[in-house]
Amino acid sequence: MEDRASAVFGALSDPTRRALLAAIAEHPATTATELAAQLPISRQAVLKHLNALTNAGLLDRTRSGREVRYKFTPAPLSEAVDWMTAVGAEWDERLALLRRQLGGAAATRRASAWPTRSRGGAAGTPIQRGGIPK
Amino acid sequence: MTERIERELWLPATPEAVWEAVTGDGWLADRVNLDLRPGGDAHFVTSGRIRSGWVEDVSAPDRLSFWWAVDQEPASRVELRIEEHQDSTRLRIVETRPLEVLDLVGVPLPGPGGVTYGPALVAA
């Protein structure tokens, strides 16, 4: 099962979809035909992206005659971002506390790419031998 | 990308000292009550704000995973890993909220040993 927030971020990972979302936010009640006229992609491709954005809860569809009009609905985005921001800030505070308790100058970072090599810093710095430099 | 927070911290301390700090009072919450065994209860209180959950897996001093939630809010899973590297210790944290969709439609969270945890347990 796909997580709602994953769907939101997945939908936003594509630059074309972000451009579409920006265009719709600026001009509410836009149609796929109007959007295709503004972007260098086909109406078919626009519809595919609009479906992804709608499934992520970022767009609201209303039928109007033969056309479907789209409106930007940012609620799921702010919910996901709120959670990421609040929880991230809590961990940053806890890590800062731990560093004060145990850590000297140890480094903290976002761990999107966990390193395998050993690091410098307080713990990794080799002990100076042969006396203190004058 | 999933709804996932990752952090890591290098500390000039032993894994045992890090374990004691992260599982004791004052870090995860002001008051921490962890029954450190799979399925054990977990309670966290910080200035009147109560979080509760359960321990998923534990292996002192290098691994702890648990679930926590505030009231009816969606629960999230926290995993702490402590690894010794030469003379420093790396603490890695991952917090994820993988079951948000289930919560939204009122499906209870999975609990230890297949037992449900959360509102459904109260209702049962």
Q: In this predicted structure, what is the pLDDT of residue B9?
A: 93
Q: In this predicted structure, what is the pLDDT of residue A78?
A: 74
Q: Nearest CB to A10: which of B1, B17, B100?
A: B1
Q: In this predicted structure, what is the pLDDT of residue A62?
A: 92
Q: What value, to the nearest 5°, has the Cα angle with vertex B35 and ends B29 and B15?
A: 70
| CATH number where B64 lies | 3.30.530.20
For residue B80, give both structure tokens: 């702490």
Question: B12–A5: do the CB atoms touch at under 8 Å?
Answer: no
Q: Tens of pLDDT along A27-79?
A: 888 999 999 998 889 999 999 999 988 988 889 999 988 889 999 887 777 77
DSSP B6-59: EEEEEESS-HHHHHHHHHSTTTSSSEEEE--STT-EEEEEETTEEEEEEEEEEE
Q: Does the pLDDT of residue A128 top 70, yes or no?
A: no
Is residue A35 assigned to a domain? yes
The residue range of the domain holding B85 is 4-123
The residue range of the domain holding A13 is 4-76
Q: Averaged over A7-13, what is the pLDDT?
A: 73
| CATH number where A63 lies | 1.10.10.10
Q: Is the ipTM of this complex over 0.85?
A: no
Q: How far away is chain B from the Cα of A123, in angstroms, using its nearest Cα?
A: 5
Q: How many domains does chain B have?
A: 1
Q: How far away is chain B from the Cα of A96, in angstroms, using its nearest Cα?
A: 9
Question: B6–A4: do the CB atoms touch at under 8 Å?
Answer: no
Residue pair B96/B77 in contact (Cβ under 8 Å)? The answer is: yes
Q: In this predicted structure, what is the pLDDT of residue B98?
A: 63
Q: In A29-108, where does DSSP find H-type helix? A: 32-38, 43-55, 75-102
Q: In this predicted structure, what is the pLDDT of residue A104?
A: 55
Hey, what amino acid is at A55?
Answer: N
Average pLDDT of every residue of chain A: 74
**CA dist., res. A97 & res. B109, Å (int):** 31
Least confident stretch, A13-22, B5-14, B65-74, B111-120: B111-120
Is residue A101 assigned to a domain? no
pTM more than 0.80: no
Q: Tens of pLDDT along A82-126?
A: 788 888 899 999 999 999 998 755 444 444 434 433 333 333 333
Q: Quote helix, strand, coil % in chain A, to nearest 5.
A: 50, 15, 35
Residue pair A123/B10 in contact (Cβ under 8 Å)? The answer is: yes
Collapsing DSSP to helix, strand or coil, A18 comes out as helix
Q: How far away is chain A from the Cα of B15, in angstroms, using its nearest Cα?
A: 11
Question: A87–B85: do the CB atoms touch at under 8 Å?
Answer: no
Question: B10–A124: do the CB atoms touch at under 8 Å?
Answer: yes
Which residues of chain B have a CB within 8 Å of the CB of A103?
A: 9-13
Q: How many domains does chain A have?
A: 1
Q: Number of residue pairs across A and B with CB atoms under 8 Å?
A: 111
For residue A25, give both structure tokens: 């936010």
Residue pair B82/B27 in contact (Cβ under 8 Å)? The answer is: no
